[in-house]
Every structure is written in C-alpha cells, then in structure tokens.
C-alpha cells in the first residue's frame, strides 16, 4: 500500500507531530476522525457525496455495492447504463439493515418502526389495502418456559399506577426466596433480598451445580417446534369449536421472542381471530359474532396447557429425549381490540416492536457466534452463561443436535425473532417498498410510477462494508442526525400524537 492513501484509510496510523493533546481530542473527537473529515469536506464534490450517501447516512456499517444500473425502454431494449465507477467513491451506499440496536442503532430503529407499523396495521387495519380490523377478536399472550432451577428473581405483586416499564420499575418487590434448605452442595437456597430491577444477580441460579443446563438449552432448541405443535393444537380446537357453532374460523398471528435474564426465551404473540369467505379463501373477514372472547381465550389456554412432547433422544440423556412443554406459570393472556382497550394497543405494539431490536443483552452479555477457537474463552465453568454455552457445546456434538453448537451464542435458540402468519398484516418487504417510494419521490408517493420503476434494473454486487474513513462516518452520521431532528420537529408540529402517527416511514 502506498503511503498517501494510507492516512486516509487507516487514520490511526497518521503520525502525530506533537505530544500535547490535539485540540480536537480535547473536544472528544479522535484526531484521525477530524483529519479525514476535513479532507472530505474540502473536496469539490462534497455536497454531491453527502447527497449520494444520504440513504445510508445514519448507518454504522453501510454496505458498498458496485456494478451497473440499466435503464430500459418500455420495449425492453437498453436506454442507457450507469456504472457505479462514475459515482462518488465509485460505489452505492446501502444501510446494513441489522435489526440489533447493539450493532447498528439506526438500522435497528428502522426495523423497530417497520415492526410497529406492521403489527399496528394487523390490529387496526384500514390501511395499505387491509380491511378495518378493529372489530376482530384478538389477544396478546406471553408464553413462558418451565423452571430449570431456582434463580434470583423479582416479583412485584401490584405495580404502581404510574409504573411504565419493567426496566425502570421501582415498585416494591417481594422477598426473592424467603425459605429454602441447603442444597446437596451445601449452598443455602434462600435469598432474603428484595432485588432492584437493575440488579445483575437477577436470573442467576442460587446453585450452579443444581441447575439443569441441559434441560434449558434443549428447551431453547425445541421452542420453535413447541410453538408449532401448540398452534396446531389450537387450530384443531378452533375447528371443533367452529363445527359446533356452524362457522369457519381461522387465526392469524405475529410472534416475537424475548430473552429472560436466566438465558431462556419466551414468546409474545398477537393472535387475531378471523372468519372465512368461501368465495375468496385468502380474504381477511371477521369471524361470526357467535364466537365470544371467552371461547377464543379458552381454545388458546387449553392448547398451551395441553401441548407437550418428547424431544429426539440424546446419548447424554441416557438415550432418551427430554419432555418439552410450557412452564407451569404458563400463559399470560390479555384481550386487545376489546371495547375500551385501545389504550393498551399502542403500548403492547410498542413493546413487541422494541423486542425485535434486542439480543441477549438482558442476560448481561451479547456474544458473537462461537467456534472452536473461542469456546474456551466463553464456556467459563463458574458463570451461569458460561455453563449454558458449555452445555450447548457438549450436547451439540450428537447427530441431529448440531444447531445447539451453531446457536451456542444464543444458548441453543436459533431461528427468526419474528414470525407471522400469511395475511396477519402486510409484509416487511411491502413496508420497505413503501419507504423506497417515499424516499425516491421525496415525500410525494402519488408521483411514483411502478411501471417506470420496473424499467430500472440494478446489477450490483458486494464491494465492501463500512465507511471508508472514520471522518466519513462522522460527517454522514451527523448529517443524518440533523435530518432526523428536522423531520421529528416537523412531525411533532403536524401531529402531537407521536406514538400512533404513521407517516413518514422514512427514517
Ligand atoms: Zn446499519
Ligand atoms: Zn435473590
Ligand atoms: Zn412497577
Ligand atoms: Zn446445589
């Protein structure tokens, strides 16, 4: 590599002339960042560059794509072709699209908003081609895993009226575990503390040696299958109920998983009851009014209580499988779309949308994918999370159990954070497309011409990840920040109800 570009690409390699702190460093900026930012801002095509990167400006690690964009005539012949070589930096910038706030706050925020709009549309309807859905019966349910050993926990019997979120809850909790004899390892299984919401011991077992690590990682591994069987069971019961009442019923749902501090997932789902139109089976129509909320709730409660099965056998479990079921604490079910219940709707939708931007933060740590080189570092025998990881690693060697190793960084749980039935709402793809239209038409979506858009063919390939210099990142991120603040101010001015305001989707 030449020395000239080196300073541009590797700002930390820039030699510093003096030992006294650089004035920019005193302001909290990294001098390399400032040098490269100044260099960029002095170039003649700087405004053009800023405009060019606008779509990805807030992203932490944008992806740079190179190739050609073809514009065709209506008859399919080529009108002209644009090469990314002719663009600033010779590439197109696109956001990384990561849903995790710990990886890219900006892309996670976009994903959160999309999820919010997707769920809200599935509950209220009357938008994006969906019929009005406010009259459909719907529930919000939380389904929890069983216990795998006693852990420090925080139980609040009644929350204060103004308690807003469980992260910031300061209500008085019960005593953790007031009673308990010493365990076989002579550890006192008693804890008389009233834990604060931020207490790092929450979710930690009282005795690591008594804890059923295999049971927990296998449950995480099997959770998807348990959900599938439970919904199947609910469908059978709905069919029976429908037969009895002489109507056809179907449920459509969206579900999200969330981590508990002990390192196990639980599911939150919004399940909506729909009817069926014989002439148009895919149409979303309300269920017949003979079905009551109580009947719908009973079907779901029974399915979650009844469903259990035995997993595939494993040599480490004496050649047998594990019994997989929901916890005895089981199911928490709230009616939504209920008369007068709409206040909760925005709140619950907001919760669900927030969960999708999270990973295992609540357990105290976020791991990257674990491999043969890093396993020893992470499988620390004296920590709860280390033992979970070790259990995944050990059990994951058996035939048919490889996903345990693959998802050891998530304590055995793989799969998508959100899943939804077809027809619950619009798709993420649809919402993204709406955003593209909004951006390309600069806020005038009625100007969008789908046929015209189809004539533009992108032939792009991956080139690199990230900003070229830390200075570029600084400039782009601050420009995006300023743009968002302007948009937020404009929106607040136009509509005080920021939680439910739907547009613009553009972030
Ligand atoms: Zn990003
Ligand atoms: Zn405790
Ligand atoms: Zn509280
Ligand atoms: Zn013990």
- Give residue 259 CA to ligand 2 midpoint distance, Å: 19
Average pLDDT over residues 27-32: 66
pLDDT tens digits, 95-117: 988 888 888 888 888 888 888 88
Q: Which ligand is nearest to the CA of 191?
A: 2
- Give residue 212 CA to ligand 2 midpoint distance, Å: 18
- Give residue 156 CA to ligand 3 midpoint distance, Å: 7
CA nearest neighbour of 286 among 420, 120, 128, 133 = 133
Q: Is the pLDDT confidence value at 341 over 60? A: no
- Do 232 and 238 form a contact (C-beta atoms < 8 A)? no
User: Is 442 strand, coil or helix?
Assistant: coil
pLDDT at 18: 39
Residue 76: CB partners within 8 Å, gap ≥ 6?
Answer: none
- Give residue 479 CA to ligand 1 midpoint distance, Å: 15
The angle that helices 105-124 and 342-355 make with each other, rounded to 10 degrees, is: 150
- Do 277 and 286 form a contact (C-beta atoms < 8 A)? no
User: Is 58 strand, coil or helix?
Assistant: coil
pLDDT at 492: 67
pLDDT at 264: 95
pLDDT at 273: 92
Domain spans of the chain, in order of start? 3-102+461-494, 131-148+212-420, 150-210
Q: Which ligand is nearest to the CA of 96?
A: 1
Strand partners, 457: 70
Q: Which ligand is nearest to the CA of 164?
A: 3
Model confidence at 3, in pLDDT bands (50, 70, 90)?
very low
- Give residue 206 CA to ligand 4 midpoint distance, Å: 8
- Give residue 366 CA to ligand 3 midpoint distance, Å: 26
The separation between CA 294 and the C-alpha centre of its own chain, rounded to angstroms, equals 31
**Choice between 393 and 120, residue whose per-residue pLDDT is larger:** 393
459: tokens are 């032939």
pLDDT tens digits, 222-259: 999 999 999 999 999 999 999 999 999 999 999 999 99
Q: Which ligand is nearest to the CA of 102?
A: 1
pLDDT tens digits, 443-491: 788 888 888 888 888 889 899 898 998 889 999 988 888 888 887 787 7
Q: Which ligand is nearest to the CA of 211?
A: 4
Average pLDDT over residues 479-507: 61
pLDDT tens digits, 71-83: 888 888 888 888 9
475: tokens are 């400039």
pLDDT at 7: 34
pLDDT at 496: 45
Q: Is the pLDDT confidence value at 340 over 60? A: no
37: tokens are 């930012």
Q: Round the average pLDDT of the chain to a whole number and report it.
A: 85
pLDDT at 29: 62
């Amino acid at each position: 590599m030449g020395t000239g570009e080196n300073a541009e690409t590797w700002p930390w390699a820039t030699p510093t002339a003096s030992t006294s702190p650089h004035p920019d460093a005193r302001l909290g900026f990294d001098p390399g960042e400032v040098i490269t930012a100044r260099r960029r801002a002095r170039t003649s095509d700087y405004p053009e560059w800023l405009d060019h990167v606008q779509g990805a400006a807030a992203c932490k690690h944008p992806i740079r794509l190179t190739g050609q964009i073809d514009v065709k005539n209506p008859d399919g012949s080529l009108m002209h072709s644009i090469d990314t070589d002719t663009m600033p930096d010779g590439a197109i910038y696109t956001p990384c699209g990561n849903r995790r706030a710990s990886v890219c706050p900006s892309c996670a925020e976009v994903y959160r908003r999309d999820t919010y709009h997707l769920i809200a549309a599935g509950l209220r309807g009357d938008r994006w081609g969906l019929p009005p859905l406010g009259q459909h019966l719907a529930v919000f349910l939380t389904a929890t895993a069983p216990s795998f050993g006693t852990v420090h926990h925080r139980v609040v019997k009644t929350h204060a009226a103004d308690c807003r979120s469980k992260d910031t809850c300061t209500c008085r909790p019960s005593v953790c575990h007031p009673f308990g004899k010493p365990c076989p390892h002579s550890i006192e299984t008693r804890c008389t503390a009233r834990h604060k919401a931020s207490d790092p011991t929450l979710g930690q077992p009282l005795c690591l040696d008594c804890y059923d690590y295999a049971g927990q990682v296998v449950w995480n591994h099997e959770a998807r299958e348990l959900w599938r069987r439970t919904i199947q069971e609910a469908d059978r019961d709905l069919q029976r109920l429908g037969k009895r009442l002489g109507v056809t019923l179907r449920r459509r749902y969206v579900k999200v998983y969330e981590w508990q501090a002990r390192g196990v997932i639980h599911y939150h789902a919004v399940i909506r009851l729909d009817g069926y139109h014989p002439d148009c089976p895919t149409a979303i129509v309300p269920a017949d009014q003979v079905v009551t909320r109580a009947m719908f709730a009973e079907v779901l409660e029974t399915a979650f209580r009844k469903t259990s099965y035995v997993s595939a056998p494993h040599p480490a479990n004496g050649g047998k499988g594990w019994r997989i079921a929901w916890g005895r604490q089981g199911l928490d079910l709230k009616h939504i779309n209920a008369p007068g219940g709409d206040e909760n709707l925005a709140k619950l939708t907001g919760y669900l949308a927030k969960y999708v931007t999270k990973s295992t933060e609540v357990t105290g740590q976020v791991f990257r994918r674990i491999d043969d080189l890093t396993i020893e570092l992470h499988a620390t025998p004296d920590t709860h999370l280390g033992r979970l990881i070790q259990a995944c690693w050990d059990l994951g060697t058996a035939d048919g159990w490889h996903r345990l190793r693959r998802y050891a960084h998530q304590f055995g749980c793989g799969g998508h954070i959100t899943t939804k039935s077809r027809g619950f709402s619009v798709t993420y793809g649809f919402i993204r497309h709406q955003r593209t239209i909004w951006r390309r038409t600069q806020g005038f979506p009625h100007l969008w011409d789908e046929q015209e858009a189809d004539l533009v063919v992108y032939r792009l390939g991956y080139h690199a990840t990230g900003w070229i210099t830390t200075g570029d990142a600084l400039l782009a991120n601050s420009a995006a920040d300023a743009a968002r603040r302007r948009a937020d101010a404009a929106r607040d001015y136009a509509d005080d109800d920021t939680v439910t305001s739907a547009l613009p989707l553009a972030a």
